[in-house]
A and B are shown apart, each in its own frame.
Chain A
């Protein structure tokens, strides 16, 4: 398999340079773009597997690019720490994940690996997902911990299954609520809190790290 191509969209040359260094060292091919326009042409010409998109671009709102990139490449957005609303909007629009600026290289590489894995996985969906000691069988709707069945309520299962379909990737509160409760409950985040709490207890001592909360954004499985 040839090395994956990653398109880095950022208006800061220094950052592009450093990210290029990190990614190249990790074995990826890197393409750069400094504006939305450049990014769109790179997307068409270089056909990257993954786009690393800074939402603060000079010529266009980064959020507008998301629907254009979606489906053509995996997409990770880069955004400032406290811009939770922007992250959620990006994810709801179809971005696969986010990294918070200033980011460290390990975290960035981990996210990119997850993003690329999903891009490949989404073509052939896994039926059994294993995270730590937990095995989730999506076909049989069964959850096991060290081969022992874990009894879940229907809501807990739906929640866990939704996360398991995208292991390591963040799902927003809204995405999870829609899956479990339907669109009428988009804002009832406390439902998730209640379900997560009992789910963590049922999953045993690792529950806390298995289902990780992304502050103000959503949850991720085995991040």
Chain B
């Protein structure tokens, strides 16, 4: 059973709320009919947002040549359409990729129900919108009430215009809805004045569609649908707050579906009932022995019906049962169903006499459940009768031989006279033929036996005349026996087949999983998976792994398959979204291949592709379950192998890191200890033995040891950056502190330079590693001290900008040679063209950049005009700033 339990709201609702956090919001402008001004309203609303500073672009807006609307679009950036090639009409569709790349805050997408040109990524525009929402982009869209899936039938019933383009209700369930409403009379006025663009489907029934009554009904539907959305939202809210008990007295709706063509109508009706009751609902298919034998078309229809239910927001379930009524009763009791929707059975009067109608038995079988019986439309397909074995020509021959043998044996045993027991002997070929070769052979045997019995044993002998009417009964009995036995045998054989195929699938899976546990490398595993899929489903199979944003083909059965551009695009989409795409799915159907993801808790770890040489869909609907099992097992196995490999890598890396850390620590210790001694010794000497003559020597000793100290520090820092071994310790840091600390530490190196501090004390705190930032600042100040002449000012300034904080260190030195601004931060680049030899290794600025970028800061260098000098800037993006008011309130509490 695969039902989603509708009665446990809290975790699911929370998950949904959590899932929606990163998602864009959809706002739908809902109209009763074309011409009410949805697009105009949408543009006006968007313009208001734009004025608030929201980044709005137009994805698709149809102005239908209306001047006011046209004028409104001009204030927005309009994304170029994508030109779809290969279609007869040149259709320009919305370019999702361009929008995703542009990443606006809000995009306007007119006509949500639009069907995209063939060859587009998704068949339907609302799927495009889904993808935009998933990328966190808000969407405004428009839709007319007759395009809403669950209202489609209702609208069609009174307007007699059925639109094929529908939008699933779930789109509206999660959206904000604004009804664009004008009174019907006004709309009719506008229509007469030619202000309404009339789409094709409405044009055909123009007079009728735009009648006053219709418009009123449509308007009511639109308003009701919007009100319902508000209710649903409130309900969602209640559920999120786990107040499950408060909703709608625990009504639960169940709709029974089968493969009948009318089943979708039942599903829509159930959805309306459930919405009215504000109840969760489930579409249930009871799988009986009879429904297991459905032909392929019926199975496809059934799957489509269940998919429709899911699309409309219902739960779906399939349960096995001896018969439909038992299944429904069991499920209803278990799921505490209060309302059942069933279609009126279209079985023959005879069938109902014999077995009683499903409805009758259902009403009798369930207590306390309201049963809604809906008349179902014409064209309902009867479930196919049990299909007997196909009789081959050789079977007739065998039957003939058997009858001949029986006749011969009887002739020998009894001689040519009438013996009553001879007719019994003819049961042997009839039963044998019916059992082994099916109904036709059985009947053939029956007829043949009857003829032979009549000819050889019934008086008058050797004629086909039957003298005694009693003997006619014998002939009839032989025929009836043939019919009954062949039916029974066919049924038994079918069950045996079913069991065998189930057992075979299980055996295949078991063998497969055994095979997978033995595999230890990814290529080997990929090969096994492809081989298994190719064998089980009789397809060509490939497997691809995502690697650095690309897909790498790692196995193909048969080998050497090349994928085309369309197929690769589909495969990439699957890798991105973790959902199937390609031929036979509902996305990127133009591809020849069907792609399924291998999903695990870590996301999509591989993509499996399938194709068939004969151009049919790679996967039959009934094979989906088996494929899912195979993919699940494959995903587990691949996950296991990858995790093992990663763990080995991690262990290796950790070991390497440990060695590196040890080396760094020991180098650091070995270099610093003698330095400390030298510094201390120099200080000692200066204190005890300084004379005017040797003071310059002490100064040199001093400054050179300082240089060596900085050099050692820089070398170690660089080693840490390049090893990627920076352990960040991010804390909120006061830039005034950071600057003061750095200035304190470089006070000797910059003794010749007046330092001007322009760091406002009220800047927000920033989240950085103070230690690393200290090094950045020291290197920048060091650099200024190195290149600027003594006596010139070094300025440290910080300013709040709209998108963060900029901190600059500016000197009055020669500036940067033109063209080196971008390269200045590269390792070992030292500025040439100065007549003085500069101290240093050229590591300083590389360290600034390495550390800054590790903390999420960016750096830039430029040359100032007046007074001339180099200007180094560090940007702290908005995201790193700490919002002080909140912290301050807490700090002072």
Interface 9-mer from B300-308, B554-562, B573-581, B673-681: B673-681
Is the CB–CB distance between A101 and B770 below 8 Å? no
Cα distance A105–B732 in the bound complex, in angstroms: 33
Contact of A22 among B683, B774, B892 (CB under 8 A): B683
Known contacts A18-B680, A153-B892, A193 near B765 by CB under 8 Å: yes
Closest B residue to A25 by CB, please name it: B687
Interface 9-mer from B365-373, B391-399, B423-431, B882-890: B882-890
Residues from chain A with Cβ under 8 Å of B386 in the complex = none
Residues 155-172 of chain A: 1 if any B CB is under 8 Å from the residue's CB, otherwise 0? 100000000000000000
Residues 173-185 of chain A: 1 if any B CB is under 8 Å from the residue's CB, otherwise 0? 0000000000000
Residues from chain B with Cβ under 8 Å of A201 in the complex = 761
Is the CB–CB distance between B687 and A200 below 8 Å? no
Interface residues of B in 679-733 (CB under 8 A from A): 679-681, 683-684, 687-688, 709, 713, 729, 731-733
Is residue B201 within 8 Å, beta carbon to beta carbon, of the partner chain? no
Interface 9-mer from B77-85, B234-242, B735-743: B735-743
Contact of A101 among B676, B737, B890 (CB under 8 A): B676
Is residue A189 within 8 Å, beta carbon to beta carbon, of the partner chain? yes
Determine how close the nearest CB of chain B comes to the CB of A91; give it in whole angstroms: 16
Is the CB–CB distance between A102 and B887 below 8 Å? no
Interface residues of B in 734-786 (CB under 8 A from A): 734, 736-738, 740-741, 761-762, 765, 770-771, 774
Closest B residue to A173 by CB, please name it: B731
Determine how close the nearest CB of chain A comes to the CB of B132; give it in whole angstroms: 37
Cα distance A80–B709 in the bound complex, in angstroms: 12
Is the CB–CB distance between B737 and A213 below 8 Å? yes
Cα distance A197–B882 in the bound complex, in angstroms: 14
Cα distance A56–B673 in the bound complex, in angstroms: 11
Is the CB–CB distance between A102 and B676 below 8 Å? yes
Determine how close the nearest CB of chain B comes to the CB of A115; give it in whole angstroms: 19
Interface residues of B in 868-893 (CB under 8 A from A): 882, 884, 887-888, 890-892
Cα distance A137–B683 in the bound complex, in angstroms: 39
Is the CB–CB distance between B679 and A190 below 8 Å? no
Is the CB–CB distance between B677 and A12 below 8 Å? yes
Residues from chain A with Cβ under 8 Å of B740 in the complex = 208, 212-213
Known contacts A18-B684, A194-B887, A102 near B709 by CB under 8 Å: yes
Is residue B830 within 8 Å, beta carbon to beta carbon, of the partner chain? no
Is the CB–CB distance between A190 and B668 below 8 Å? no
Is residue B800 within 8 Å, beta carbon to beta carbon, of the partner chain? no
Closest A residue to B686 by CB, please name it: A105
Contact of B891 among A80, A195, A212 (CB under 8 A): A195
Cα distance A208–B760 in the bound complex, in angstroms: 12
Known contacts A56-B669, A189-B732, A191-B887, A22 near B680 by CB under 8 Å: yes
Determine how close the nearest CB of chain A comes to the CB of B888; give it in whole angstroms: 5
Is the CB–CB distance between A15 and B673 below 8 Å? yes
Is the CB–CB distance between A216 and B771 below 8 Å? yes
Interface residues of B in 184-227 (CB under 8 A from A): none
Contact of A102 among B672, B732, B734, B737 (CB under 8 A): B672
The total of Cβ contacts below 8 Å across the A-B interface reads 103
Known contacts A18-B677, A102-B679, A215 near B761 by CB under 8 Å: no
Determine how close the nearest CB of chain A comes to the CB of B74; give it in whole angstroms: 48
Determine how close the nearest CB of chain B comes to the CB of A110; give it in whole angstroms: 14
Residues 191-221 of chain A: 1 if any B CB is under 8 Å from the residue's CB, otherwise 0? 1111111001100000010001101100000
Cα distance A200–B713 in the bound complex, in angstroms: 32
Cα distance A190–B890 in the bound complex, in angstroms: 10
Determine how close the nearest CB of chain A comes to the CB of B789; give it in whole angstroms: 27
Closest B residue to A190 by CB, please name it: B732
Is the CB–CB distance between A193 and B734 below 8 Å? yes
Contact of A213 among B672, B674, B709, B741 (CB under 8 A): B741
Residues 68-108 of chain A: 1 if any B CB is under 8 Å from the residue's CB, otherwise 0? 00000000000011101000000000000000011111000
Is the CB–CB distance between B887 and A105 below 8 Å? no
Cα distance A25–B689 in the bound complex, in angstroms: 13
Residues from chain A with Cβ under 8 Å of B687 in the complex = 25, 105
Residues from chain A with Cβ under 8 Å of B679 in the complex = 102, 104
Determine how close the nearest CB of chain A comes to the CB of B117; give it in whole angstroms: 55
Known contacts A80-B668, A208-B736, A216 near B761 by CB under 8 Å: no
Closest B residue to A181 by CB, please name it: B891
Known contacts A81-B713, A101-B672, A216-B729, A200 near B888 by CB under 8 Å: no
Contact of A18 among B681, B709, B774 (CB under 8 A): B681
Is residue A19 within 8 Å, beta carbon to beta carbon, of the partner chain? yes
Cα distance A103–B888 in the bound complex, in angstroms: 37
Known contacts A104-B683, A215-B741, A194 near B891 by CB under 8 Å: yes
Determine how close the nearest CB of chain A comes to the CB of B436; give it in whole angstroms: 82
Determine how close the nearest CB of chain B comes to the CB of A214; give it in whole angstroms: 8
Contact of B672 among A80, A153, A188 (CB under 8 A): A80
Cα distance A81–B736 in the bound complex, in angstroms: 21
Residues from chain A with Cβ under 8 Å of B673 in the complex = 12, 14-15
Interface residues of A in 16-41 (CB under 8 A from B): 18-19, 21-22, 25
Residues from chain A with Cβ under 8 Å of B668 in the complex = 80
Determine how close the nearest CB of chain B comes to the CB of A20; give it in whole angstroms: 10
Cα distance A213–B888 in the bound complex, in angstroms: 19
Question: Could you write out 6 A-B pairs with CB less than 8 Å apart?
Answer: A12-B677, A15-B676, A22-B683, A102-B676, A105-B687, A155-B892
7 tightest A-B CB contacts, nearest first: A102-B676, A191-B891, A18-B680, A190-B732, A213-B737, A14-B677, A194-B891
Since A103-B680, A105-B680, A213-B737 are in contact, a sample of 12 more A-B pairs with Cβ atoms closer than 8 Å, ordered by chain A residue number, is: A15-B673, A15-B676, A15-B677, A15-B680, A21-B684, A102-B679, A189-B732, A195-B892, A197-B734, A200-B736, A213-B740, A215-B737
